Chain A
Amino acid sequence: MKLNFDPRVKDACAQNKTGTVGLKVCKAVLVGDVAVGKSCLINRFCHSVFDMDYKATIGVDFEVEKFSVLSVPFNLQIWDTAGQERFKCIAASYYRGSNVVIVVFDLSDIDSMSHTPQWKEDACKCASDPHIFLVGTKKDLVSDAAFADIEFEAMKLANEINAEFWAVSSKTGENVREFFFRLVSLTFDKAILNELETRKSPVAQIGSNLISEWLCL
């Protein structure tokens, strides 16, 4: 598990040499079975609310969160997809170009966990070398003993699908912020590294004037 920002990233941030990362799109999609709590997770994080009533997502919901990481502005687009079967056919266009795939399951529903490899598979087909997270929700609903078993299984699964496992509760808020901050940090780290990588090949940037105009908000 990666514990620190890459030193090159920290250097670049300290010296204000992060280029256009702040202007880039970091796209995250949430996938998983019906009613595992994808929208609740987003609502807890983005709006600090939790609603007991279930409301099915139609198609896809969209949120943008702005962060400042190591003083560099960074944006996260969150696409919260519907778990319903009837929307599966259109999912591909929503997955396209994702940098982060969040596969969500319900810790109190073992079936929903068994479907996660398939969700991951579908989402990653259209994504661009994404970070993958396996997130178990509704931690408040399972006993500590039961959780220990599930956690073991989930870690194993996470290993198989090359994901990082997190257990959260949107109701209590447990681990929600931590999870998203971890997600943003990792994505940020990677985005800056990519930026530094591509900058090695000096290519004149077309429209860089335009971009710099935009920078002076």
Chain B
Amino acid sequence: MAVEVDGGLVGGDENYKQLFRRLSLGNESRKSPTTLPWDRFQNWLHCVCVVTFDLELGQAMEMIYPSHVKLTEKEKTSICYLSFPDSNSGCMGDTQFHFRIRQCPGRKSLGPAMNDYNRDCPTALQSDPGYYYGFVYFRQTKDKTIRRGYFQKSVVLISKLPFFILFNYLVGVIAPEYFTNGEPSLEAACHDIDQWPPPVPGETLNLPFMGTVVQIRVPSRTDKLIGNSQATPKSPLIPANNILPTLHEVDLFSVFQPVLPHIQMLWELVLTGEPLVVMASLPTVCTSTVQALVSIIWPLKYSMDYRPYFTIHDSEFSEYTTKTQAPPSVILGVTNPFFAKMLQHWPHVIRIGEMMQGSSKSMSRLKKGGNLKTLHSKPGVYTRYKPYLNKDKSILKKLVKGVQAKRPVEVQTAMLRRYLLELTQSFMIPLERYVASLMPLQRNICPHKGAPCLRPFDIDQFLKTVDQSGPQLTSGLKGDWVGLYRRFFTSANFDSWLRSRQLEVNQKLQALHLEALCQTDLLSWIRDKEEVEIVDLILRLREKLSLAQNNEIPVSRDTIKELQRHLEMIIVSLPEDLQSVLRK
């Protein structure tokens, strides 16, 4: 540490040395020599698009930045249509919303940084290889100099990461700058993003952006879910001008206020993957409602398709609106009144009024009616669904009290989020516990046999455990939990949860097995074995090593090295002719 002397502001080198200590900042903004331009950019964004309204062509792609980025014609068309408000609802001035589209197949896989991210981030925030998100900033103003009389343009950020809050913030800064100053602002903004470190779960990052430093924390799978217990950041914190408290969390309370009494039913509908459509008059309202619905079962990942903003031009329009089949298990957000008729056959419709405030009058309607139900325009949830669980009035009472006491929205949202999280956890804990019971015992991991696997999930066996150690242990809610589980088992949410658990557990078992192999004296074991058996062992070891080297088995480098050493010793112990065959 520096020694303090009577410090002056000028002086010889010695004086400075005593006054100063320059501290290294780690790799904060250092580029490794192998980093190419746009490598870092791709960790965050795919590209930025500018979409304009052309009198002859309609919506048209004016620019894609950086220009080398590839989008297929189909993707471009989708982006163009989805970047403008669908219905002529006015939307004068500036409007922000986001959409989600399918990526055309045949694209190269995610880069290494993204694979690492996906392994360590909460599953619900994984970057999805099959989809793109588009974050739109749309401006419509009167402009006499344009033939149509209006300036209509959108700036759209295309990304694979579901960081709604971050990207909405970014596009909110970039777009106005672009509308005033043109292309150099996109160039500069993208260049800033190209200096960002990759999104590493659990880390606090300082992101230089348009003259300020935006500080974010990337959520990690190991974050505690309840309580504000974020671990101390590893990288040194530097002061930031802008701290974004969250990358992805929607303001649940404001969004759900119009349909608050049905929150628990909505939770069931989303959990069990029921087809849901949100009808709103403004794209912003519509996208945030869909996003809030998807996050209602956090930390569980909503595994079906969802479209925060869906229009009649969408390439999946006919697939999703067909009347010849049952409605698909998706959540759609729409603003075009045309959908009210088009989706009449959908079992559950949420109507959100013009404004988000939602007067107390509109708060508690549950609509049941004939076929014309969705043409009804009052806000509410339109469904014939009968919830499995009894209604929990206490949370509603708390929130209503909060409204009366003018409690800040952030606090209301935190309460609601916590309530939903506890509900989801009460539902999931018995499942987690049951899966844990399917683990083979440590003593069954034998180096001379194959690695054991997780035993299969048996629904009936699980349901037998519910009576004794079901959700009633952590939740006071009464109702037909078993019925809800049965329904959940038919949904893709269950499949994807189980698959990710199986993958995790089997990788863990592989790792334990590999470590057991390392600790075994394989040389003495092969002493009395036939050559065939030894060759078989060698092949199995090689397969394991290649899996471990591709990071598919979570073991340390040392274990891998140790195993390589074992392998080499076994090969050397074989006759020479066999050695040469094995080394080929």
The residue in chain B whose Cβ has the minimal distance to the Cβ of A20 is B239
- Is there an interface contact between A182 and B9, defined as CB atoms closer than 8 Å? yes
- Is there an interface contact between B9 and A95, defined as CB atoms closer than 8 Å? no
Q: Is A4 an interface residue (CB 8 A)?
A: yes
Closest Cβ–Cβ distance, residue B240 to chain A (whole Å):
7
Q: With A58-B191, A68-B20, A182-B9 in contact, is A97–B184 under 8 Å at CB?
A: no
B183-212 residues at the A interface, CB under 8 angstroms: 184-185, 187-189, 191-192, 195, 206, 208, 210-212
Q: Is A217 an interface residue (CB 8 A)?
A: yes
A27-66 residues at the B interface, CB under 8 angstroms: 47, 58-66
Chain A interface: which size bin? 35 or more
- Greatest chain B CB density within 10 A among A5, A59, A189 is at A59
* B-contact 0/1 string along A82-97, CB 8 Å cutoff: 1000110110011111
Q: Which of B7, B16, B23, B181 contacts A89 (CB 8 A)?
A: B181
- Is there an interface contact between B25 and A94, defined as CB atoms closer than 8 Å? no
- Is there an interface contact between B181 and A90, defined as CB atoms closer than 8 Å? yes
Q: Is A193 an interface residue (CB 8 A)?
A: no
Q: Is A112 an interface residue (CB 8 A)?
A: no
* B-contact 0/1 string along A70-102, CB 8 Å cutoff: 110101010100100011011001111100000
- Is there an interface contact between B16 and A178, defined as CB atoms closer than 8 Å? yes
Q: Is B237 an interface residue (CB 8 A)?
A: yes
Q: Which of A62, A68, A185 contacts B29 (CB 8 A)?
A: A62
- Is there an interface contact between A73 and B23, defined as CB atoms closer than 8 Å? yes
The residue in chain A whose Cβ has the minimal distance to the Cβ of B232 is A217
Closest Cβ–Cβ distance, residue A32 to chain B (whole Å):
17
B1-21 residues at the A interface, CB under 8 angstroms: 1-2, 4, 6-10, 13, 16, 19-21
- Is there an interface contact between B185 and A90, defined as CB atoms closer than 8 Å? yes
Number of A-B contacts (CB under 8 A): 134
Contacts of B28 in A (CB 8 A): 64
A95 to B8, CA, bound (A): 29
- Is there an interface contact between A24 and B239, defined as CB atoms closer than 8 Å? yes
- Is there an interface contact between A5 and B239, defined as CB atoms closer than 8 Å? no
Q: Which of B7, B23, B213 contacts A70 (CB 8 A)?
A: B7
- Is there an interface contact between B236 and A68, defined as CB atoms closer than 8 Å? no
- Greatest chain A CB density within 10 A among B13, B20, B189, B232 is at B20
- Is there an interface contact between B7 and A66, defined as CB atoms closer than 8 Å? no
Contacts of A216 in B (CB 8 A): 232
Contacts of B24 in A (CB 8 A): 66
A60 to B184, CA, bound (A): 11
Contacts of B184 in A (CB 8 A): 59, 86-87, 89-90
- Is there an interface contact between B191 and A60, defined as CB atoms closer than 8 Å? yes
- Is there an interface contact between B189 and A59, defined as CB atoms closer than 8 Å? yes
A181 to B213, CA, bound (A): 23
Q: Is B393 an interface residue (CB 8 A)?
A: no
* A-contact 0/1 string along B290-331, CB 8 Å cutoff: 000000000000000000000000000000000000000000
A5 to B212, CA, bound (A): 29
Q: With A4-B7, A59-B188, A94-B210 in contact, is A64–B1 under 8 Å at CB?
A: no
A77 to B208, CA, bound (A): 10
Q: Is B390 an interface residue (CB 8 A)?
A: no
Q: Is A155 an interface residue (CB 8 A)?
A: no
- Is there an interface contact between B238 and A64, defined as CB atoms closer than 8 Å? yes
The residue in chain B whose Cβ has the minimal distance to the Cβ of A5 is B7
Q: With A4-B8, A5-B7 in contact, is A214–B29 under 8 Å at CB?
A: no
- Is there an interface contact between B192 and A59, defined as CB atoms closer than 8 Å? yes
Contacts of A13 in B (CB 8 A): 4
- Is there an interface contact between B206 and A185, defined as CB atoms closer than 8 Å? no
Contacts of A94 in B (CB 8 A): 188, 210-211
- Is there an interface contact between B188 and A58, defined as CB atoms closer than 8 Å? yes
- Greatest chain A CB density within 10 A among B9, B10, B29, B241 is at B9
Q: Is B22 an interface residue (CB 8 A)?
A: yes
Q: With A3-B9, A3-B10, A185-B9 in contact, is A64–B20 under 8 Å at CB?
A: no
A77 to B210, CA, bound (A): 13
* A-contact 0/1 string along B229-244, CB 8 Å cutoff: 0001100111111000
Q: With A59-B188, A64-B206, A66-B236 in contact, is A90–B23 under 8 Å at CB?
A: no
B25-45 residues at the A interface, CB under 8 angstroms: 25, 28-30
Q: Is A14 an interface residue (CB 8 A)?
A: yes
Contacts of B213 in A (CB 8 A): 25, 64, 77
Contacts of A70 in B (CB 8 A): 2, 4, 7, 19
Q: Is A69 an interface residue (CB 8 A)?
A: yes
Q: List 25 A-B contacts (CB under 8 A).
A: A4-B6, A4-B7, A5-B7, A62-B208, A64-B28, A64-B206, A66-B238, A67-B22, A68-B2, A70-B2, A71-B1, A71-B2, A71-B4, A77-B208, A82-B188, A87-B184, A89-B182, A89-B184, A90-B177, A94-B211, A178-B13, A181-B16, A185-B7, A217-B236, A217-B237
Using A58-B191, A89-B182 as known contacts, list a sample of 9 further A-B pairs with CB atoms less than 8 Å apart, ordered by residue number in A. A59-B187, A60-B188, A62-B192, A67-B20, A70-B2, A70-B4, A87-B188, A90-B185, A94-B210
Minimum-distance CB pairs A-B, first 9: A59-B188, A62-B208, A94-B211, A66-B23, A89-B181, A68-B21, A59-B191, A58-B191, A25-B239
